[in-house]
Each structure stands twice: as C-alpha cells, then as structure tokens.
Structure 1
Amino acid sequence: MKNFSTSPDNAVRLAKRVAELLACSRSTAEQYIEGGWVSVDGQVIELPGARVAPQQAITVSPEASLLGLAPVTLLLHKPPGFEAGLGMEAAHAAHASRSQGARPALSLLGAPSHMAEDAASTRVLLRHFKGLECFTPLPTPASGLVVYTQDKRIARKLQEDIESLEQECIVEVAGQIAEGGLKRLCHGLSFNGRPLPPIKVSWQNETRLRFALQGIRPGQIPAMCEAVGLRVMAIKRIRIGRVPLAKVPEGQWRYLQDWEKF
C-alpha cells in the first residue's frame, strides 16, 4: 500500500480532488471516499484527508452511490479475556481488567476479523468501525455475543430494553448438582438478597447448562450455580432477544441483517 503521507508539498486532500472531479460539495466527496468508491492510482482509498499529488490519477467507480451509507450493527463473538462493557460501573471494571492485561473487545473489530461466510452483502468499510456503541456488556472471563452499533435506533432499543430482553447462555459446570438443584435454578434462589424470578434452565449435556433469563446481573449465574453445588467453568452468551450469535467463529464478527430484530 502506498504511503500517501509522503506526498509532495503541492499535494492536496483527496476530498478536494474528488469534489472538483464530480463538481460536488466537499462533504459529498468525503461520503464517496468513505463509501469505498474512490481509487488513487488504482488503489481504493477510504480516507478523505489522504494527501494526493496533482499527477496521481483519481477515479470514481461507475457504481458509486451514497444509498448504502446507512449505519451498521456488528455482532462480535467475544473470546474470554476481553473487556466489553458500558457505563460508569463498567468503566471501573474495564479499568481494573485492563490493569490485569484485558484488552477491549472493540479492538477485535476490523476487516481481517470479518466472518468469511457472512450472509450479509454489506461491503466492509473503514467507516463501519467508527462511532460504535455497546449496550450489551459481558464479563471479561465470559465469551459470546456482544453487539456494537452505529444505529441510534438500535442503540436506544438496547439501552432501554436490555433488562427485558431474554439472553441465552451456555454454562459449562463442574461438580455434583444438589438434589432438586435444577428445579431450584429455575425458581427458588435469591441473589444479592432478592428472590430471583422464574428462569429457564435445562441440561444441554452432562457438563453444560442452558440458561435463558432476563435482567441478568454480574456474578448472578456463578452464584446461582454455587448455591446448588456446581462450579462455573465457562459462560458463553449465544443469543440476545431474537438475535443469535449463529456460527460466528470466536474472535470474529458479522453484520446484523436488515430483517433481524432484537
């Protein structure tokens, strides 16, 4: 890839050249560039501020359109050991986890980690990794679905309804469950001094439990399992509302499709 930062002194911003070429405003030119429609000497450049020399060839794809610049939502399969949270409480937790070596899950988002078999036809652009918000915190030791969005409507939906959206988790456990323990997991336990509402809990296999619950609190599932003689070895969130993690490999992400609703 060429280094456009070393362009000569008479170089100008790419957005200026495109605006002149298309006889459009500078802001419109920037949208074409960020949309991945502009090439410099045959190489697609998505940075409006890139410096280009007068002799460099600027081309705009004949398929160029601004219709596909809608905000996107990314569904990440967070591996254990990465921090994903929101708000003051999460910020304190993030600071503590980073001090112990945890990296932000946001750092996993980029073109190289895009799921190869993503069913969405969206073209991956640099602009898709800017201005992302997360309203689906997940404990650092846990893995699974984390949502990052640029869409204000989806951000508001998650921010307002995360407590009422059912979340599904697969929990790997060790130990011997107490007699009647599964029934107590479904209903009959308390957490932080308050009785828990009915929860859907079932065995997936001999060492894995499936939890489907609303309003999950940090530490709730480990405390519930401990109360019936089990020790949590791993937690993986596989669904939020009606949106599943699906077959996204760990450490990769896919686009939320238009028809998918939380």
Structure 2
Amino acid sequence: MTEPLRLSKRMSELGLCSRREADEWIARGWVRVDGKVVSELGSKVLPNQRITVERQAAAEQSKRVTVLINKPVGYVSGQAEDGYTPAVALIKPENRWPDDPSPEQFHPTQLRSLVPAGRLDIDSVGLLVLTQDGRIAKQLIGETTSVDKEYLVRVEYTKGGKLPDSDLKKLNHGLWMDGKPLLPAKVRWQNEDQLSFTLKEGKKRQIRRMCDMVGLKVIGLKRVRIGRVKLGDLPVGQWRYLAADEQF
C-alpha cells in the first residue's frame, strides 16, 4: 500500500513550487486534486493522484524574480549577523548593472521573500543568487541538487616548495569532512597560484577547509559560475536579473 504524502510536499517533489508556496496556494483555493479544490492545509494525497493549479498561481509565480549579484567581501549571504550587512541590501536601483539586458523594472515588492539560494562566506566574493521563486531555490540548494558551482581560489602553499600531485588528487577525491567522504570534485591549476574548484556540494567553508587539509592557505575566493549561469562581466557590488531564457 502506497503511503499518502502531505499535498505541499508532493507539489514540491513534482517541481510545481516550494512547500511554502504550496501552502499559500492551498489556503487560497488554487490547488485541485483529481479536479476537486483542496483548501485545507496539511491535506494528504496518494502519489498517483493528479494535482493541478489554477492560472492565478502560475501568474503569480511568473512575477517572482531571481537576482544575480556579484557579492563583495564584508557582506553576509543571508540574515544580518554580528553587525554585518546582508547582500540583499545592495539590491537597489542605483546598484543595478547598467548593461543588464533584462526588460524587468525594479520595484520594492521584489525585495519581499527574496532569499539567498546558497551561501557565500563573508570573506568570499562572486556570484550569489537571491530568488523569490521556490522552484529555483529547491533546484540550487535542495538535497538532490545536481547543479555544480565553480570557484577560482588564490592559494599559498604553507609547507615550502610546491603542492604535491598526490595532494591535488586528494582535493579531487579522497578527503573527508564532518565524518563523511566528500563527493568527487574537479580541482585543477589555473596558473601557478590559482586553483579552479568545481563542486556539487557546499558544506560550510568547504573549500577553505579542503585547502587547509593539504597545507594550502586561501588568499582569495570567488564564485564564477552556478550551473550554466556565469558571473561574466557583472561588476563587484552590482546586480542583474536572471533572464527569462537563462537556466541553471
């Protein structure tokens, strides 16, 4: 016998929306199960039942924006902490990249529920995604994400000489963190003091901790790509909208 699931969880699994959006839509009477409106939060469904949403939900979802920012050092990704400013504070008209090709007009309501889809340390720079769209957040930070992220990392070897090839291999695969083996990464030299890291996971301060394990000190760290979306020429401290035809 197949177990029933919470309707909001099932909608998230199907990629229709985030769980929070699902609860909003259910409460508004915008969700149907096998053609019948279900408006009670916590309702359960079987996996074979057909879920549809009203046009208003799709229209509201299409209004939700996703913003790409080139985060400077000194800003935190999420909530304000220890007196540091969150990156969302940079999302204002005067900081919008003048070369942003998107026709989207800025409006203060876009700042509501604009949350980071993934974090970037306070002392790291580069591509940070802030979104109102639960589907994008799930795609980038959900447990089953397959979207990789690329970083350029300036390093200094602390043990004298040069990093041995065996340690470069360990950075690619073989290190453990928090009691678990890390997923395979792609780590290669870009030039004599800069490595490129491509990861499919994002443990807290992962790259800095990986480098530390093999005697490398991180001097600078910049995220340059998330999936198919690149930082490109976006200047530090400026932002642009994710274009309608761009996908991670």
TM bracket, shorter-chain basis: 0.5 to 0.7
The whole-number CA distance in structure 1 between the counterparts of 2:101 and 2:164 is 44
Residue 194 of structure 1 and its aligned partner are, at CA, apart by: 2.1
The whole-number CA distance in structure 1 between the counterparts of 2:144 and 2:228 is 12
Question: Structure 1 counterpart of 2:211, which letter?
Answer: C
Provide the identity percentage: 39
Out of 35, 52, 69, the position equivalent to 1:76 is: 69
Residue 113 of structure 1 and its aligned partner are, at CA, apart by: 0.4
> Where does the alignment leave 5 or more consecutive residues of structure 2 unmatched?
1-58
Residue 162 of structure 1 and its aligned partner are, at CA, apart by: 7.2
Q: Is the 8 A contact 1:110 1:129 kept in 2?
A: no
Greater C-alpha radius of gyration: 1
Instruction: Output the TM-score relative to the length of structure 1.
Output: 0.64
Q: Is the 8 A contact 1:169 1:212 kept in 2?
A: yes
Instruction: Output the TM-score relative to the length of structure 2.
Output: 0.68
1:221 aligns with 2:207: yes
Instruction: Give matches, 1:222-261, under 5 Å.
Output: 222-261=208-247
The whole-number CA distance in structure 2 between the counterparts of 1:167 and 1:240 is 4
Residue 77 of structure 1 and its aligned partner are, at CA, apart by: 0.7
CA pair 250-139 structure 1, distance change in 2 beyond 3 A: same
> Where does the alignment leave 5 or more consecutive residues of structure 1 unmatched?
1-65, 86-90
Residue 179 of structure 1 and its aligned partner are, at CA, apart by: 4.5
Question: Structure 2 counterpart of 1:74, which letter?
Answer: V
RMSD: 2.2
Q: What does residue 170 of structure 2 align with?
A: 184
Task: Give secondary structure in 2 for the equivalent of 1:180.
Answer: helix
Residues 104-138 of structure 1: per-residue CA shift (max 9 Å, x gap): 11111100000011122222333333331222111
Residue 256 of structure 1 and its aligned partner are, at CA, apart by: 0.2
Q: What does residue 209 of structure 1 align with?
A: 195
Residues 1-43 of structure 1: per-residue CA shift (max 9 Å, x gap): xxxxxxxxxxxxxxxxxxxxxxxxxxxxxxxxxxxxxxxxxxx
CA pair 199-158 structure 1, distance change in 2 beyond 3 A: closer
Residue 159 of structure 1 and its aligned partner are, at CA, apart by: 4.2
Task: Give secondary structure in 2 for the equivalent of 1:75.
Answer: strand
